[in-house]
Amino acid sequence: MRISANLGFLFTDLPLPEAIGAAAAAGFDAVECHFPYDVPAGHVAQALRDSGLPMLALNTRPGRAGAFGLLALPGREDEAQAALQEAFDYATAVGAPMVHAMAGIAQGPAARATFHANLAWAAPRAAARGLQILIEPINAQDVPGYFLNTTAQALGVLDALAEPALRLMFDLYHVARTGEDAVALLPQVLPYLGHVQIARAPDRGVPVGGDVDIPAVLRALRGQGYAGAVGAEYRPGPGEGFGWLSALRAL
């Protein structure tokens, strides 16, 4: 199983091009990031070529400081679509196949309609570039008011829009914090699955131990046909290394 370093949380003391090299040196198979836009895409593309690692995914801009996205915010459709277009351009330039479209902090019918409309606008544009758009439920304890909180809610969006370019980001940390059973959900989520992320729950630490048996979930994923990579999106503690990496890769 390929393991990707999420550079939003890992190697954050380094500039993004150097972080890519550090991830390769640590033994990761790929990288993904949050918001790379302050670094020219050409610099990142060169770092990826030098390291031999692919970049799997990046996020749309979150909006104003402290925000978590734009797509579900009524009245900000132009800003949301500009963020999507920017993410598509950057992803294409660095060879990343997936873009996480961040919904934002919003609730209610107007937010739902706005989120659906923005995704419907984005899906054919992503497909034309060979890209997938990921939507991710984020638990309400970490981000109160975020539009998407549960797996069922995200699957409802994907069912309503029925766009092949729209896929689910299945983050085992958020699943656990929401009180859901990741293994029990697998038969439901596999037809929609675009990417998987891992971290220990409840502290978002190194993906060993905690409330979720991560190896068991990954074995179940592999057994049910998931062939994609797994993104390590966790906050490392002081002095923690990557001894866990080889064990998870062996799954």
pLDDT at 204 over 90: yes
Angle CA 12–234–20, to nearest 5: 40
Element (H, E) at 250: none
Distance (Å, rounded) from C-alpha 121 to C-alpha 138? 23
Pairing label, strands 98-100, 3-6:
unpaired
Share of the chain above pLDDT 70, in %: 100
Distance (Å, rounded) from C-alpha 19 to C-alpha 90? 18
Q: What is the mean pLDDT of residues 204-212?
A: 95
User: Which CA distances in Å does 146 have to 55, 64, 182, 230, 247?
Assistant: 26, 15, 20, 24, 34
pLDDT value, residue 178:
96
**In whole numbers, what is the pLDDT of the chain averaged over residues?**
96
Backbone angles phi, psi at 214, to 5 degrees: -60, -45
pLDDT at 66 over 80: no
Reduced to 3 DSSP states, what percent helix, strand and coil does the chain have, rounded to the nearest 5?
40, 15, 45
Pairing label, strands 3-6, 166-171:
unpaired
The candidate with the shortest Cα–Cα distance to 197, out of 242, 229, 165, is 229
HSE-CB at 233 with a 13 A cutoff on CA atoms is 20
* pLDDT classification of 251: cutoffs 50, 70, 90: confident
Share of the chain above pLDDT 90, in %: 96
Does the annotation mark 233 as catalytic?
A: yes
* Structural domains in the chain, sorted by start: 59-236 (3.20.20.150)
pLDDT at 250 over 90: no
Out of 44-48, 57-61, 66-70, 228-232, which region has the weakest mean confidence (pLDDT)?
66-70
User: Which CA distances in Å does 170 have to 15, 21, 131, 159, 203?
Assistant: 28, 26, 18, 16, 18
Residue range 15-51, pLDDT digits in tens: 999 999 999 999 999 999 999 999 999 999 999 999 9
Burial letters for 188-217: b for 16+ Cβ neighbours within 10 Å, e otherwise?
ebeebbbbbbbbbbeebbbbeebebebbeb
What are the residues facing 36 on neighbouring strands?
Answer: none
Residue range 116-155, pLDDT digits in tens: 999 999 999 999 999 999 999 999 999 999 999 999 999 9
* pLDDT classification of 65: cutoffs 50, 70, 90: confident
**Catalytic residue of the set 77, 86, 136, 180:** 136
* pLDDT classification of 173: cutoffs 50, 70, 90: very high
pLDDT value, residue 12:
97
Q: What is the mean pLDDT of residues 160-171?
A: 98
Distance (Å, rounded) from C-alpha 44 to C-alpha 77? 29
pLDDT value, residue 133:
99
DSSP one-letter string for 115-157: HHHHHHHHHHHHHHTT-EEEE----TTTSTTBS--SHHHHHHH
Does the annotation mark 136 as catalytic?
A: yes
